[in-house]
Structure 1
């Protein structure tokens, strides 16, 4: 199916004549007739009632004419935008982030960039994904960079050929309902978590945070750690006292008056509850959008 074929089909639907379309397009009637026959054969649907004096659309032909017109309009619009992009100095940058926690920091950075670096405009294309997918997409070149939550004892960064920059650091804390018995404690121990339902957020199936959290706890206890697919669900279950959840301190989103936050006490033998949010990117990615954005982030970090 070709664009010219669709355009001639629409012309036939409007003029009701192969001959009139041929004259309008400066081609032979036989060419138009053959194009329409090939189109019907390709679709496996009869599009026309062929009369001696008038070509009429079938019901299927009328529907297809509407859709074909929309397709051609969308194509022409896309081509126009492509030319506008090509003829402008606007840079493009494809960014990923792991969760609304990093997303909040990402939005802050993008807003500041747009306000302070107007001489180097960037069109940001943002997507959310699991840490595993973000590493894969940046490595494969499907994303230019990504904000990830680095926590626990993972080897993603050690084994990766990607470069990374620390954007902010903090401590993971546990969110608990004000009515939960554990809320009376100033900090929690690994023993307090035994028998509790512990939640973590990921928008898609991912064990990254689960294994990262478990790696920071003594291995002689059993912990029930589960994933939830929305922050709203996690907040609701925690507020109702049906579960507890771990959050990056200073980055909680959707504040809830029924939730309080408590530190998790770590012994010398346990891994740290510290986390960092990092920008990951390929060292051989030389697009200007990434270069400009990294320069901005480095200046932002150095002047905090």
Structure 2
């Protein structure tokens, strides 16, 4: 018997407005505990809009810090436990996945922590402790396509629905974690006043992974030999990660993700939006983009 298409399953979570940002219960039910989270000065945060390269950079950071000293982590602990999702709180008869609790149990130093929060939602203790933050941004068209396929296969997310409806919802900012525009711009503005924020682009990482890892090491104050950097670059190539059960979320199970509908790591390509956008949608998107991207210092490639 074939597995069901998760996009057709009910009930999927409903979105709602939460302090001006579209959210679902999984990311607000534990709000007080998340906001009261006590960061440590050496904590490192990976912040992204969903489907913008989060797992990619999480794996890079884990390899940089622990690949040599604790190589067994790479083959025995899934990435979502090595780099926990801070605001996640899933409770069911099959699974209790509470990000804050997982972070607090980490015995690594530094602790690597993932968030999809817009900048204004990040717990204040990270700012107070001057923690280092790595933000990864992806061009909106590819980000939209990746998010669409993610919502198709992930029962913990709202149903993706038809592509044309999802397209409009993305433009309207009615996505979980809010508007892509607000997210990438909010973190970009923060970068101007908070020096411990490193802003990366998915497209740069895809074009020259080794160079972006070099820049990341410089930001983190890490001295890594060319040989180790080359090894890490090889480890995090898309096909290697897609086939790595400790990186591709295939161990999560619990009826959450349907890999028959779409893999968690689907293509990892720049420009795949061209296989989804109609000519009319592309024109509509470009017009919308011109209106909403007011800060011309924030430049994305591969939009045309």
TM over 0.5: same fold?
Answer: no
TM range (shorter): under 0.3
Higher radius of gyration, 1 or 2: 1
| Structure of greater relative contact order (alpha carbons < 8 Å, 6+ residues apart) | 2
Instruction: Give me the TM-score of the superposition, normalised by structure 2.
Output: 0.27
Structure showing the higher strand proportion among its residues: 1
Instruction: Give me the TM-score of the superposition, normalised by structure 1.
Output: 0.27
